[in-house]
Structure 1
Amino acid sequence: MSTAAHQAFFDRTHSDDLIAFLGTSPSPYHAVASAAERLEKAGFRQVAETDAWDDAPGGRYLIRGGALMAWYLPEGVGPETPFRVVGTHTDSPNLRVKPVPDTGSAGWRQVAVEIYGGVPLNTWLDRDLGLSGRLVLKDGTARLVQLDEPLLRVPQLAIHLDRSVNDGMKLDRQRHLTPIWGLGPVDEGSLISYVAERAGLAAEDVAGWDLMTHDVQPASYLGRDRELLAAPRLDNLLSVHAATAALAAVASGPDAADLPYVPVLAAFDHEETGSESDTGAQSPLLGNVLDRTIHARGGNAEDRARALAGTVCLSSDMGHAVHPNYVERHEPGHHPVPNGGPILKVNVNNRYATDGVGRAVFAAACEKAGVPWQSFVSNNAVACGTTIGPITAARLGIRTVDCGIAALSMHSARELCGAEDPYLLASAIKAFLEG
């Protein structure tokens, strides 16, 4: 297909906005701020967990660290009204700055980092890295910081010094992943002083930090027909962006007042490390939000039980496209491809939460949206990953469906997907939230 024909087939507005979202979201803290900005434009207002909540119709959201919960209350919904929840996560595998960051060797200044999540280590070699995250001040407030410039680099050993590198690279996670950022002796306190100065703060006012590296190369379209999207953090900011766009569209739509469900976005942190935190899917955060919205509408335990019995959660996370160079690693009868629409993820050992009834819910949403969809299941000889889906299903006792889009290079510093799929996913999520 020619470039002109392809562009005529696909409106890139959604993917263009995804590229902008990825650029402003190098950390989970930035991702929730970027999503909140989009929700504010759609009429949502921020609420505090420490305040009492009311039952007035409209959109609300709360931020806790790197997690965001958002929901829309239609007019006149009773406390027993079920929810339609889209679950996502804001974190991505990367290299994160240690508590004592300044280190070095042999005349090089370096930054001590810890590996976060399941990282293909070689993808972080020889990349220009920036820093992002948050600085926490002595008064407990936090300041976001985003340094989109080549500050750090993890240099690979030259092939002249390791002639066997192409026979299989072995990287020591402690010794070989320490980035350089200059020359000279180790200068204790220099990294945080530098970051604080760039944020307009005094180093002595900084009491803590949550800083991480990110590839400064921006997201971009790829291929002859620009039908692919190459970008960092597609897993899982693509789903966060799609769900945010879908919720904003539902809340702004002509039928918002008459929705049969309460639509909810749950964007958790720390999925890549097991979700065990106060902002992860294993925390009571989502359950508390649902309970409090029921209570604000005058509900009791009976109303809660009725509401959750009719609730469905769509867990949206990235999945695997068939890899042309490793076809044998995939299940022979299930070869999801980019731009083929969202994928329904199934695993009978409950690594994904989808069952037959959930499949029907997902298929109905895709049909309503006019969106094609595909099925994904792992090769029996290859271990299957997991998501927040089974956690959410088990913790809240609600029906949960796992979906996503097909991609290559998952967890790499830079991933690859179809340029059409983000819009197709968002369209399916919108239809799901509308019921």
Structure 2
Amino acid sequence: MRERTNQGLIDFLKASPSPFHATHSIARQLDAAGFRRLDERDAWHLEAGQRYYATRNDSSIIAFRVGRRKLLDAGIRLVGAHTDSPCLRVKPQPELQRQGFLQLGVEVYGGALLAPWFDRDLSLAGRVTFRRDGKVESQLIDFRDPIACIPNLAIHLNREANQGWAINAQNELPPILAQVPGEERADFRALLAEQLSLEHGLVADAVLDYELSFYDTQSAAVIGLNRDFIAGARLDNLLSCYAGLQALLTADDEESCMLVCTDHEEVGSCSACGADGPFLEQVLARLIPDGEERVRVTQRSLLISADNAHGVHPNYADKHDGNHGPKLNAGPVIKVNSNQRYATSSETAGFFRQLCLENEVPVQSFVVRSDLGCGSTIGPITASRLGVRTLDIGVPTFAMHSIRELAGSHDLSHLLKVLGAFFACRELG
């Protein structure tokens, strides 16, 4: 069972090199499970016992089951995660031709660890907007093959590299794609038009714009002497998206359940499709049109914000509070911060601890060292917008925001089990 669950995650990561692809991958599984796609431009007619989903910007998705129990009696069980990860995004006019090489200018998206991007086999994926037969259309593309690399400077030419080297994102991160002979000028948009033709059989009159990310082509894998770990890109936070999706797919139709996977968390969530935007509020308004009833249902509901946590690294154990060092493969982590960087309260933490106890799922806690700053999640953002009781949890991870992260191979099953129990839980406290 654990091996099948981990392989499902690996397949999901491979199919999801960008937030657009992650949303498409989730939608495809929802379609196969009989969920009905809703268009935000149409009127919605929602029925108890039915399953629905809606997307926004092709990079955020909200899926839900309308339970047979009345919302005013039962509330809604919400799980939130995010589809984006730190990466390198291609600039609008990216072509660089230096020393006979074609490179692309990139912008750093989110708080990426930059050093691991060097010497990796990179590909490119995302969304392309183009004109065809006089109409503007968009399509997802994925080159799949390794088409680029950011080679390190040899140690002979940079003797201080191992003493700490500040990476200049403007000058040192443009990936190399090819050698260009003579004075020939490269046209990146022509390359995208060719990819549209190869991948989708589309003949574009002109490529108008794009949102494209470089990614590591090395597949995620279960590794370690005893296969204790999962290594891969975008574990933060596609692991949580995948666990929430599988829990929703296996939930019954008794309780109302919702999975919220939004874009732009890594850059603050402030967008039309981010957690600090109106997407979730507008979906809830259409599910519960009456304003007073919606407030009453919200106060009977609970949100679990699932976003990876920092496991205690054996080489850097002093970066953790001595009493709050989450271990890999020891279960999901309740994240607490008195300054509301996490939205956990004693009541929501208590509810989750009891849920884990009842379902024999190990559980841990994390508080950042008092002399270090604390990251945040969609939890406080969603809680402040909706007024919903919220809990922040996550699977412990090493190398968060690296091009290749590491998690425990048992923890996905732990998370999936407790989220499944949450969606089935009759009383939310």
Indicate yes or no: 2:207 matched with 1:214: no
- What's the offset of the Cα at 1:374? 0.5
| Deviations 1:107-159, CA, capped at 9 Å, x for gaps | 11101111100011101001000111111233343211111111011111011
Rounded to whole Å, the distance in 1 between the matches of 2:353 and 2:323 is 19
The corresponding residue for 2:126 is 133
TM-score, normalization: structure 1? 0.92
- What's the offset of the Cα at 1:78? 4.6
The corresponding residue for 2:146 is 150
Larger CA deviation: 16-25 vs 40-49: 40-49
Indicate yes or no: 2:65 matched with 1:69: no
Rounded to whole Å, the distance in 2 between the matches of 1:326 and 1:355 is 28
Q: Secondary structure in 1 aligned to 2:269?
A: coil
Indicate yes or no: 2:262 matched with 1:268: yes
The correspondence for 2:174, drawn from 161, 178, 193, is 178
The corresponding residue for 1:5 is none
Rounded to whole Å, the distance in 2 between the matches of 1:89 and 1:389 is 11
Indicate yes or no: 2:364 matched with 1:368: no
Q: How does 1:243-258 map to 2 (within 5 A)?
A: 243-251=244-252, 256=253, 258=254
> Structure 2 vs 1, CA of residues 336 and 232 (structure 1 numbering), >3 Å: closer, same or farther?
same
| Deviations 1:243-269, CA, capped at 9 Å, x for gaps | 000001104xxxx2x32xx21000000
Query: Does the CA contact (< 8 Å) of 1:118 and 1:411 recur in 2?
Result: yes
| Deviations 1:301-344, CA, capped at 9 Å, x for gaps | 22111111111110000110001101111111111111101000
Amino acid at match of 2:186: D
Rounded to whole Å, the distance in 1 between the matches of 2:73 and 2:3 is 39
- What's the offset of the Cα at 1:41? 2.3
Q: Secondary structure in 2 aligned to 1:74?
A: coil
Q: Secondary structure in 1 aligned to 2:392?
A: strand
Larger CA deviation: 108-117 vs 205-214: 205-214
Query: Does the CA contact (< 8 Å) of 1:69 and 1:264 recur in 2?
Result: yes
The correspondence for 1:167, drawn from 159, 163, 169, is 163
Q: Secondary structure in 2 aligned to 1:135?
A: strand
RMSD, aligned CA: 1.5
The corresponding residue for 1:242 is 243
- What's the offset of the Cα at 1:191? 3.7
| Deviations 1:286-312, CA, capped at 9 Å, x for gaps | 0111111112xxxx2221111111111
The corresponding residue for 1:59 is 51
Rounded to whole Å, the distance in 2 between the matches of 1:365 and 1:174 is 48
Report how many aligned residue pairs link the two structures. 415
The corresponding residue for 2:28 is 37
Rounded to whole Å, the distance in 2 between the matches of 1:53 and 1:80 is 23
- What's the offset of the Cα at 1:197? 3.7
Rounded to whole Å, the distance in 1 between the matches of 2:301 and 2:71 is 14
The corresponding residue for 2:280 is 286
Q: Secondary structure in 2 aligned to 1:175?
A: helix
> Structure 2 vs 1, CA of residues 392 and 78 (structure 1 numbering), >3 Å: closer, same or farther?
closer
- What's the offset of the Cα at 1:361? 1.8
Rounded to whole Å, the distance in 2 between the matches of 1:55 and 1:149 is 42
Q: What percent identity do the matched residue pairs reach?
A: 40
| Deviations 1:50-96, CA, capped at 9 Å, x for gaps | 11111323110011120000000122535675211101000000001
Query: Does the CA contact (< 8 Å) of 1:109 and 1:186 recur in 2?
Result: no
Amino acid at match of 1:195: Q
Rounded to whole Å, the distance in 1 between the matches of 2:136 and 2:266 is 26
Rounded to whole Å, the distance in 1 between the matches of 2:233 and 2:303 is 26
Query: Does the CA contact (< 8 Å) of 2:193 and 2:206 recur in 1?
Result: no
Rounded to whole Å, the distance in 2 between the matches of 1:218 and 1:78 is 42
- What's the offset of the Cα at 1:431? 1.1
The correspondence for 2:99, drawn from 94, 106, 117, is 106
Query: Does the CA contact (< 8 Å) of 2:86 and 2:109 recur in 1?
Result: yes
Q: How does 1:218-229 map to 2 (within 5 A)?
A: 218-229=219-230
The corresponding residue for 1:329 is 319
- What's the offset of the Cα at 1:216? 0.2
> Structure 2 vs 1, CA of residues 18 and 74 (structure 1 numbering), >3 Å: closer, same or farther?
same
Query: Does the CA contact (< 8 Å) of 1:103 and 1:186 recur in 2?
Result: no
Rounded to whole Å, the distance in 2 between the matches of 1:79 and 1:102 is 56
Rounded to whole Å, the distance in 2 between the matches of 1:287 and 1:219 is 35
Query: Does the CA contact (< 8 Å) of 2:285 and 2:291 recur in 1?
Result: no
Amino acid at match of 1:135: V
Q: Secondary structure in 1 aligned to 2:143?
A: strand
> Structure 2 vs 1, CA of residues 125 and 186 (structure 1 numbering), >3 Å: closer, same or farther?
farther
Q: Secondary structure in 2 aligned to 1:354?
A: coil
The corresponding residue for 2:10 is 19
Query: Does the CA contact (< 8 Å) of 2:71 and 2:297 recur in 1?
Result: no
Query: Does the CA contact (< 8 Å) of 1:220 and 1:230 recur in 2?
Result: yes
Q: Secondary structure in 1 aligned to 2:171?
A: coil
Q: Secondary structure in 2 aligned to 1:410?
A: coil
Q: Secondary structure in 2 aligned to 1:37?
A: helix
Query: Does the CA contact (< 8 Å) of 1:196 and 1:206 recur in 2?
Result: no
The corresponding residue for 1:422 is 412
Q: Secondary structure in 2 aligned to 1:411?
A: coil
Amino acid at match of 2:172: H
- What's the offset of the Cα at 1:201? 3.1
Rounded to whole Å, the distance in 1 between the matches of 2:306 and 2:272 is 20
| Deviations 1:386-420, CA, capped at 9 Å, x for gaps | 00000001011111100001010000000000011
Rounded to whole Å, the distance in 2 between the matches of 1:236 and 1:329 is 22
Query: Does the CA contact (< 8 Å) of 1:192 and 1:203 recur in 2?
Result: no
- What's the offset of the Cα at 1:198? 3.2
The corresponding residue for 2:344 is 354
Rounded to whole Å, the distance in 1 between the matches of 2:206 and 2:196 is 9
Query: Does the CA contact (< 8 Å) of 2:13 and 2:220 recur in 1?
Result: yes
The corresponding residue for 2:196 is 196
Q: Secondary structure in 1 aligned to 2:147?
A: strand
